[in-house]
Structure 1
Amino acid sequence: MAGKEESEQPKRRILCIDGGGILGTFPAAFLAGLEPDVDRPIGSYFDLIAGTSTGGIIAIGLAMGLRASELLDLYEKRGPEIFGQGRGPVADFIFDKLRFARRLVVNKHDSGPLRSVLEDTLGGKRVGDAATRLLIPAWNPVARSVYIYKTAHHARLRNDYKCLAVDVAMATAAAPTYFRQHVTQHAVGLTDGGTWANNQVALAVVEAITLLGWPRDSLQVLSLGCLDETYTIRKWAGIGTLGSKVIKLFMDGQSHGAMGIAKLLTGHEHERTAIHRINHPVPYNAYKMDDTRVIQDLKGLGHSFARDRQPVLDPVFFSHPADAFMPVYALNEEPGVTSRERLSA
C-alpha cells in the first residue's frame, strides 16, 4: 500500500543552476538544446527554480516566461558588452590589462552594462510576476547574513514579490572584485550569492520539504553546473602556490557539501534516483568567468550534453508542464489579503 501511495503522489520538479559568470552559457545552451522538443518555454516544466549569480539570472528569466534560447542569446550577443570585450584583439588586450590594475583597488567591471542588459531583458517585471516559484541567494556583507529572494510561495514571504526582477538579478550577480555591491532601495548592500551558495541545490531541497511541504520522495532535481575545473594542491602549499585556487577550493567544498545534503534529504542513490547533475570537468583556468571568447565553445558543449542526456531527462522532467503556481500574495492586491482569500471571498 505504501508503494502505491508513493507512486501516486505528484512529482515535484526542481531546477537548480550554479553561478559562474559567462560560463552560464553552458547551462543556458543545455536548456536551449532541450527546449525544441517541449511544447512551451522550458521553465514551465518546473515547480521551483533556484539559481545563483549567472544561474540566478537564468532562473529569473525562465520564471518570467522567457525561453532558454532567448537567454542563450543574451550570453552570445550581449556577453561581451557586459564584460567590456568585443572591441578587437588589441583593444581587448589593453583593456584587460587596465581592468586587472583597476581590480587591485576596486571592482574589475562596471555594473552599468549588466544592468542595461537586464533591463532590456526583464523590463519592469517584479518577482511577483514570476510564473514559477523562485529561490535566489545573495549575501549581506555588513550584517554577515544570508539574503534569499523568494516568490510569495508561503504566507510569511510578504516582501520579496514586490522587488524588481532586475534588482534581484543585480544582487545575486554582484560578484566581489568583479562588480560592485548592489544597493537595494532600502540601502541594503548585497553581493553575489555565490559567496555562500554557488550551488544552491541543498537550499532548494530544504525549501521544498519545509516551507512548501512537499514529500521528499516526490522530488526530482535537475542541477546544472558551470563546468568543473580540475586542479591539484600540494600538501605543503602556501599562499604563493595556491593563488586563486584558494577561492576554487572553498567553492568546491560548498558545492560538494550542498550535493551531499541534497542527496541525503532526497534519498538519492541508496533509495532512488532523485538528483540529476549536469556538469563537465575542464582543466584549471581553461575557462575564465569573464572571458567572452569562450562563449561559442560553451554553447557547443551545452548543446552536446543536451543531446546526450535528453533520453534520460525527458520522461523525468518534460512529460507534462508543472501545475500552475498560485502565489500567496499577488501584485496590486490589498495589503494583508492573500490570493487564496480573495478567491474564496
Structure 2
Amino acid sequence: MAKRVILQVDGGGILGITPAIVLHRLETDLRAKHGNNHFLLRDMLTLCCGTSTGAIMAGFVAAGVDAANIDKFYSIDGVDLFNNSKNPIYTRFLKPKFQRQPFINKLNAILQSFSASQNANVTLGQLPNTLRLMTTAYNLSSHRTHFIKSYDPNDQAIRLADAVAWSALSAAYYFGKINVPNYTWTRLDNSTPPNSYPEAGASFQDGGQGTQNCTLDFVLAEILAQGWEHDDVVIISLGTGSKTKFTPYSQSKDISDIGQAIKFIANQARDESTTVQEMAARYICKKLPNIQLFRLDYESPEDYDLDDTDHVDVYKKGAQQIIASSEYGNLVGLL
C-alpha cells in the first residue's frame, strides 16, 4: 500500500455515474485483493477532494459510505432525481430548472443510513482526523473559489451535507445559488503586502462552473503545504468524460470573432484549466517519481449536459472502458 493515497473527483452532474462505477469496482477489487470484505475506500486515503458532483462522492467516501451505495446514488437515485425534480417549465425564467430539496433529502438519507456515523448532521470536524476532506464552492461575494476543509478549524463546525450542497447543488440555471449569511471569510485588498479584512456572508454557487471543476492544482499545492513531496504518493484523479479538444490548424485559422466568443462563453476557461492541471501534475510526477498520477477518464463522444439522463448507457460504458484499461489495472496492483 502506498504511503499516501489521494482521491480527486471532477464535477459533472449525472455524468458522475462514470466515476461512481469506477469507485465501486475499485473498492470491490481491493476488498478481494486484501481479503477484507469490510474495507472502505476511506481506509486508505490521506486526502479526498472534489467539486460539484465530485464533492458529493468525496463527501460520501470521507463519511464512510460504501462505494456500492455511492454507485446506486448515481446510477439509480440520481437519474430519478433529475427526471422527477424539475420545476414547471412555465416557471423557468423565474426559478432554477430543478428543485434543490429532493436532492438534499436524498443526500441526508444516504448519510443517515449508510455513513459510518449514521448521522445526517455529521460535521466536517467529526470526520476521521486521519483523512482530510476538501470541497469547493464559488462565492459571488468574494469573487473567488473557497476551499472548504475538514482540517481547517474555521470549517469544522460546518455540516458535511451543507459543504457538499454548497459545491454541488448551487449551479446557476440548474439549482441557483445558496446564501449562507453566517459564513466567515477573509478579504484581501490590492496593497503590497495585502491587508486582510474579516467578512461575513457568502452566496455560493457550484464550484465546477469556474476553473476548479478539476482540483488537481489544489492536490499539488497540498502535497507541498503538508510536506509530502518526498513521500510515496498515489493520486487517483477521476474524470466524468471528456470530448477531445482538438481543432486542426486548417480550421482554427478561419475561426471568426463570433466563433471565438462562443468558445469563450462555452466553458473555455474551465476546459483549459483541467487540461493544464493534468499537464502540471504529470510534469511534477516526472520530476518526482515518488509521486504517481493515475488520471482515469474516457473520451466522450459528445459534450453532454450535466442533467442528460438519456445517455446513461454511455456513462456506464465509459466506466467499463476505464476499468478495462491498463492504467486501472496498474493502480489496483499498486494499492
TM-score class, shorter-chain normalisation, is 0.7 to 0.9
Residue aligned with 2:285, SS: coil
Q: Alpha carbon RMSD of aligned pairs, Å?
A: 2.7
Structure 1 residue 213 corresponds to structure 2 residue 241: no
1:145 aligned onto 2:162: no
d(CA) in 2 for partners of 1:280 and 1:171?
Answer: 27
Q: Give the Cα–Cα distance (whole angstroms) in 1 for the partners of residues 263 and 121 of structure 2.
A: 37
- 2:212 is aligned with 1:200: no
Q: Is the 8 A contact 1:32 1:303 kept in 2?
A: no
1:181 is matched with: 177
**Aligned partners of 2:87 and 2:95 also within 8 Å:** no
Q: Is the 8 A contact 2:96 2:176 kept in 1?
A: yes
SS state at 1:35 partner: helix
Cα gap change, 1:310 to 1:261, in 2 (>3 Å): closer
Contact 1:63 1:134 (8 Å CA) reproduced: yes
TM-score by length of 2: 0.78
Tell me the equivalent position of 1:228: 242
Q: What amino acid maps onto 2:165 in structure 1?
A: M
Q: Which residue of structure 1 lines up, in the alignment, with residue 101 of structure 2?
A: 112
Shift of 1:311: 2.4
Q: How many residues align?
A: 291
Deviation of 1:56 (Å): 0.6
Aligned to 2:305: 288
Which of 270, 281, 294 is residue 251 of structure 1 equivalent to?
Answer: 270
In the alignment, what sits opposite 1:50? Answer: 49
Matched, 1:20 2:12: yes
What is the distance in 2 between the residues matched to 1:47 and 1:256? Answer: 24
Structure 2 gaps, min length 5: 32-38, 112-119, 183-200
Q: Which amino acid aligns with 1:261?
A: A
Shift of 1:169: 0.8
Structure 2 equivalent of residue 159 of structure 1: 154
Contact 1:53/1:193 (CA < 8 Å) preserved in 2?
yes
Distance 1:228 1:51, change over 3 A: same
Residue 175 of structure 1: how far off its partner (Å): 1.7
Alignment CA distance shift 1:169-1:232 (3 Å) = same
1:125 aligns with 2:108: no
* Residue in structure 1 matched with residue 66 of structure 2 by the alignment: 67
Note the C-alpha offset of 1:213. 1.9
* Identical pairs, percent: 26
* Alpha-carbon distance in 2 for matches of 1:70, 1:76: 10
Moved more, 123-132 or 26-35: 123-132
Q: Does 1:29 align with 2:21?
A: yes
SS in 2 for 1:301: helix
Contact 2:300–2:318 (Cα < 8 Å) also in 1: no
Deviations 1:270-328 (A, max 9, x none): 5536211111112333x321012323432343134224344200232x2xxxxxxxxxx
Residue 197 of structure 1 aligns to a residue whose secondary structure is coil
- How far apart are residue 222 of structure 1 and its match? 0.9
Question: Quick one: distance in 2 between partners of 1:67 and 1:281?
Answer: 27
- Paired residue type of 2:89: L
Cα separation, partners in 2 of 1:168 and 1:271, compared to 1, 3 Å: closer
CA deviation after TM superposition for structure 1 residue 205, in Å: 1.8
Secondary structure at the counterpart of residue 57 of structure 2: helix
1:326 corresponds in structure 2 to none
Secondary structure in structure 2 of the residue aligned to 1:184: strand
1:315 corresponding residue in structure 2: 333
2:178 partner letter: H
Deviates most, 169-178 or 296-305: 296-305
Segments of 4+ in structure 1 off by > 4 A?
A: 231-235, 238-245
Contact 2:285 2:292 in 1 (8 A): yes
**Partners in 1 of 2:102 and 2:230 — Cα distance?**
41
The Cα of 1:124 is off from its aligned counterpart by: 1.5
C-alpha deviation, 1:188, in angstroms: 1.9
Matched, 1:41 2:40: yes
Q: Which has the higher strand share?
A: 2
User: In the alignment, what sits opposite 2:115?
Assistant: none
Assess if the C-alpha contact under 8 Å between 1:19 and 1:199 holds in 2: yes
Alignment check: 8 A CA contact 1:51 1:200 kept: yes
Task: Output the TM-score relative to the length of structure 1.
Answer: 0.76
**Partners of 1:33 and 1:307 within 8 A in 2:** no
Q: Distance in 2 between matches of 1:44 and 1:307?
A: 24
